[in-house]
Chains A and B, each alone.
Chain A
Amino acid sequence: MVSQQDHPHHHVDYSELRYLTPMGPDTQLDIECANVHDPFYRYLYVYVDGQLWSTLYAPGSDHIDLPYYSTPGMHEIKFVLYYGNFRINPEALRDVWVNYKYRMVEVD
């Protein structure tokens, strides 16, 4: 969801994308940010349930820990591109994978 003005040439300071994802024990985030035809580095703030959790950069790739929830459930993760507009720079959020620890396999 692009929360700012829809017009691609309208100047906005930031834009945000919000997702509801399952989170649980040892939640982790794998993320890849790119800037295609974009000469600037941009901040990418990560919020979890409305709380600022981490500051990432685009372009860049990261593997970070998200909050630990002993009981899996749905939580909101929000990405704020600052400065920037996801409509103009959609590759700033190229890949997002959220996952939590579920099963271990002992292999003999």
Chain B
Amino acid sequence: MVGSGYNHQQPSAIFDYLEAYWIVHNYRRVTFVPHTSGPFDYDITWTQYKYNYRNVYFNHIGQTRWIYGFFAHYINSHHNRGYGSKGYRFVIGDEASYCLLDYRQYVLIHEYGHVEGMRENSGGVPDIYGSNRVISYHYYHCSSWDQYLAYARSCW
């Protein structure tokens, strides 16, 4: 988060929002642990993020309970807010369009939702918490709740 010339450290309210959301809507608790290691890049790509940051600066690499999140300036372009991959990692460009402070908590929920097995609107089962404006266009990778729960159990 800390780099030359620009500080990508996030206000704790960003993480508190997701942690509280997860406690209210799920029995499984998510805890964010901000670190201050890692360099800064103005604009990185998804591939650069994986090989130059995640594989290098992830202190808990290989530990199944831990995933890696990263805040950069831009990801690929000024319009991409972030990426997330199922059960693995996410990255957010915190200066992208619609990713400024008043909206970043929803972007974080969106990208973390990908880690939890949700995907963009392309079929599948809609999220039961569809009233949320970010989650509402999330759909699970799985075609049924039984499959989703099976995936959730497989995380253990």
Contacts and interface: CB of A to CB of B under 8 A. Distances in A.
Contacts of A71: 156
B24 A97 contact: yes
Main secondary structure of the interface of A (DSSP, over half): strand
Contacts of B69: 105-108
A19 B10 CA distance: 37
A108 B28 contact: no
Nearest to B30: A103
B132 interface: no
A108 B38 contact: yes
Chain A, interface size category, equals 20 to 34
A99 interface: yes
A108 B66 contact: no
A72 interface: yes
Contacts of B36: 108
B37 A108 contact: yes
A104 B35 CA distance: 12
Best-surrounded residue of A30, A97, A99, A103 (most CB of chain B within 10 A): A103
A103 to B, nearest CB: 5
B68 A28 contact: no
A102 to B, nearest CB: 3
Nearest to A71: B156
B32 A105 contact: yes
A94 interface: no
Given A107-B10, A108-B1, A108-B35, A99 B71 contact: no
A106 B60 contact: yes
Given A72-B156, A108-B37, A103 B23 contact: no
B50 interface: no
Contact of A107 (B15, B26, B29): B15
Interface in B9-32: 10, 15, 22-24, 26-32
30 contacts: A22-B28, A28-B29, A71-B156, A97-B24, A98-B27, A99-B22, A99-B23, A99-B26, A101-B31, A101-B65, A102-B29, A103-B30, A103-B65, A103-B67, A103-B155, A104-B30, A104-B31, A104-B33, A104-B65, A105-B32, A105-B66, A105-B68, A106-B59, A107-B1, A107-B15, A107-B33, A108-B35, A108-B38, A108-B68, A108-B69
Interface of A: 21-22, 24, 26, 28, 30, 71-72, 97-108
Interface of B: 1, 10, 15, 22-24, 26-38, 53, 57-60, 65-71, 112, 155-156
